[in-house]
Structure formats: C-alpha cells, structure tokens
Structure 1
Amino acid sequence: MLHLVRHAQASFGAADYDNLSAIGHEQSRALGVALARQGIVPDAVFIGEQRRHRQTWEGIAQGLERAYEPIVVPGLNEFDFKGLLDARFAAGGAPAGLHDDRKTHFRMLRDTVLMWQCDEITNPPETFAAFSERVRAARDVMAQRDAKTCLAVSSGGAIGQMITDALGAPADQMVTLQLQTKNCAVARFVLSGDRAWLNGFNETPHIDASNESTMLTYS
C-alpha cells in the first residue's frame, strides 16, 4: 500500500513559497500521530526534492515517533506553477494578484493548466507530457521497492496526475483533483508491478470538528 501525502501548508504569497508555515508544521506532526493511531508503520519513505516535502516528512516522522531517511524521487516534485503562469503571460496581460491573491491565482492556474495540457503555452518550464511521464516513473520507482507499506510526500499537481493516470481519467481531471487536495491529505494506492489502483483520496485522519477551523487548508 502506498500512502501518498500532499505537503502541509506552505507559504503562499511569500517570497519563498517552498517553506512550511507554522500551521503546516503543526499539520504534519498531527498527521504523523494520526497515522500511528491507524497502525501505519512505513517500511519505505519517499519524498520529492522540494523543501516543503522534506519538512512535511520530518513532522510526520515526529508524530510517528520513528526516524527514517527518505528516498528522494525527483518525479514527485510539483510542476513549476509560477514559471508556467509567467510563461502564459510572457507577452503581457497578467492580472493583478496573479501570484499573491488566492482567488486570482487559482482561477488563472486552472485555465493555464488546461492550456498547458493542450500544448498552448509557449516555452513552459516543462511540457505536460514530460510532467506526466516523470510522475508515472516516480510511481514505478516506489512500486519496484516492493515494500509492504510505503509513505511518500509530494504535491497537489503530481498527486492529481498520479490519480488521473491510475483511473485512466481524462487529462483535465488532474487539475480538478489538484485544486481539491487538502494540505497533508492522504491518497492511498495499491501498487503491483506497473499497475496502480486508487484506494482512497483526500483523507485527513488528523482533522476533526475540534481543529478543523485551523488545520484544514488547501495551499
């Protein structure tokens, strides 16, 4: 079983997004505690290269009260959403608040990803085909480990793509899933060879009515 975790809340609108907020650190520790309650003891841990992935894993490890050195898999990295938005508006016309107003940012991101999937963005940081292939390759790396219980930390876009691929869903579902995925939410897959079956999506065992107002975030 693969337990694929979206990173905890990062620093949206800050000069350095790739760094957990105070709430993000709290979310990751709380998720580790909740996973321990569920009896989940990973025998292999994977993260992307981004700082928020490692920080999230470090918090989960604290909550699990277990220390592992994670295997870094670059295919778990998020696509460069800032670079993609900048490429779309390279000739001008970017709306105010493109990178720091949540409503504007996510509305533009959705439309931009759909354009990206249709090869309508000139000089993107990477093609959508390359992104899709590296996410699939990352899944295969984790499957080849042949561990009974894997835990991985990634980002919303990569998770959305892995789910879309597993379901054989249309490409546009990737961004729909991405924008639904909560910080520190868990997607669960059964892996076998080059096949993956989705077993759960957007699970937040660390959140209940007593802490939802502060712990439930999306960016």
Structure 2
Amino acid sequence: MGQIYLIRHGQASFGSENYDELSALGHEQARLLGEWFANGKQQFHRIVTGDLKRHRQTANACIAVLPMASRVDLDWQTDPGFNEYDHHEVMIRHRPEFDDPAAVKHFFATTENARYVFQQYFQESMARWMSGEHDADYREPWSAFRTRVVSALQRLIESAGQSQSIAVFTSGGTISTIAQHLLGLPDQKVAELNWSLVNCAITKLLYRRGAVSLSYLNNFAHLEWLGQPESVTYR
C-alpha cells in the first residue's frame, strides 16, 4: 500500500503585492512539519510540488530538516497540475474593488468583522465561479480546474511504485478538490472545506493499483504540539 501526503503550503503573504511568497511564519510552519516528519522517522521516495513559489519554499524548508540520509536519494519533481486555482481572479470577477492590494488592506483595517465579511465575499465568489454560468469570465473555469487536479493525482499514482511514500506540496483548493473527488462531495462543499484547511496541514491518501482512498484530512497536530499558539493559521 502506497502513501501520498498532500501538504498545504505554509502561510503566504496575504494582502501584499506578491501573495506567492511565504511569510516568516510560513517558513516556520514548514520547518515544524519537517521536524515532525524527522521525529517520526518518516521516509519519502519522492517529493512533488506544484510550480508555484510558495509550494517550493514549503518543500525546501520542510525537507531541509530531515536527516541527511533521508534526503540524499530523494526524487524531486514539479507538476503544475497541483497548482492552485487563481483565487485573485475568482474574487475580482465578483468583487472588482479587490483587484488593488491597497484596497484589500484598507478593507481589513476599516471593516468591522472584516475576516467574516471577507469570507462571505469569498464564498460568493467561489459560488459564481463554480456555477458554470460565467465560464467565459475565467481563464480556468471550475470544471477545467477540477479536471486538471484529478488528472494530476491519477498521473502521480500511475507513475508511482506500489508501496512508495510521496509528499506533494500544493494548495488548499487542490487538496479540497481531491477530497471532493474521493468522497463524492457536492461542489458547494469544496469552498467550505478549503476555508477550513490549515497552512502546512497534512491530508494523507492510501493507494494501490486501481484504487485510492482518504486516510485522514487536515492534520495539523505538528503545529499544535511543536509550535506556538500563533502557528495555526488558515490564510
């Protein structure tokens, strides 16, 4: 039985001009994950990342903590099929005012219960994207994103040995979509699940020839045990 560890990237730079960059806390979350793997003597045969910077930074910071003997023969691969959807485009098609990072900062600084309101806007934006009624507005409609992600998972399993342990450093939307695929969840649950995934949390899959199943979802015990209270973040 093989194992695939889907790892959400560490905290990125939300609200900045370049979201695709880990924050200082994001790097620390990735280090704590690596320490967790090292303490558990976890061995990997392959490391896979999307081609986003935050994926690679999380992988590098995590794997650097593993013992040298565990890192020497690792097979590193990049598969853009595990990239996140364009969350910025999804949001601004519904709320164009958020196209400007300065406007986002102003919103959070001046709006009462800003995180709750922003979550509502995000859920509305996701519903618009996933409805299929506005596909022409998006470079990658929801149906195309879902197909890309599921294809990346299938491609990974087909290329893997029967009992390999593989770490995939990816994003919350990708992990939520894979969970939807495996559990048969309706589309509306993907956005809700995505919002609940913790930075650097682990979702574990078990696979064998012709079959894959969910072992556990959104495990962040390593952040609670090894980190400080602020180590658990969702954005």
Whether TM-score is above 0.5 comes out as yes
| 1:83 corresponds to 2:89 | yes
Report the alpha carbon displacement of residue 177 of structure 1 after superposing the two structures with TM.
1.1
Tell me if the contact between 1:6 and 1:156 (Cα under 8 Å) persists in the aligned partners.
yes
Change (3 A) 1:116 1:5: same
Which of 192, 209, 212 is the aligned partner of 1:176?
Answer: 192
Paired position in structure 2 for 1:161: 177
Report the alpha carbon displacement of residue 99 of structure 1 after superposing the two structures with TM.
4.0
Paired position in structure 2 for 1:215: 231
Paired position in structure 1 for 2:133: 120
Q: How does 1:4-153 map to 2 (within 5 A)?
A: 4-65=6-67, 66=71, 68=74, 70-89=76-95, 99-100=104-105, 101=108, 103=115, 104-121=117-134, 122-147=136-161, 148-153=164-169
Give the number of the structure whose residues are more often helix, by fraction.
Answer: 2
Structure showing greater radius of gyration is: 2
Report the alpha carbon displacement of residue 114 of structure 1 after superposing the two structures with TM.
1.6
Report the alpha carbon displacement of residue 9 of structure 1 after superposing the two structures with TM.
0.5
- CA deviation vs aligned residue, 1:52-108 (integer Å, no higher than 9, x gap): 000000011112232545211111111001011122245x799x9874436243321
Matched to 2:91, the amino acid is L
Report the alpha carbon displacement of residue 179 of structure 1 after superposing the two structures with TM.
0.4
Normalising by structure 2, report the TM-score. Answer: 0.85
Tell me if the contact between 1:183 and 1:217 (Cα under 8 Å) persists in the aligned partners.
yes
Matched residue pairs, number? 218
**Unpaired runs of 5+ in structure 1?**
none
Matched to 2:166, the amino acid is C
Q: State how far apart, in whole Å, the 1-side matches of 2:231 and 2:50 are.
A: 23
RMSD value, Cα: 2.3
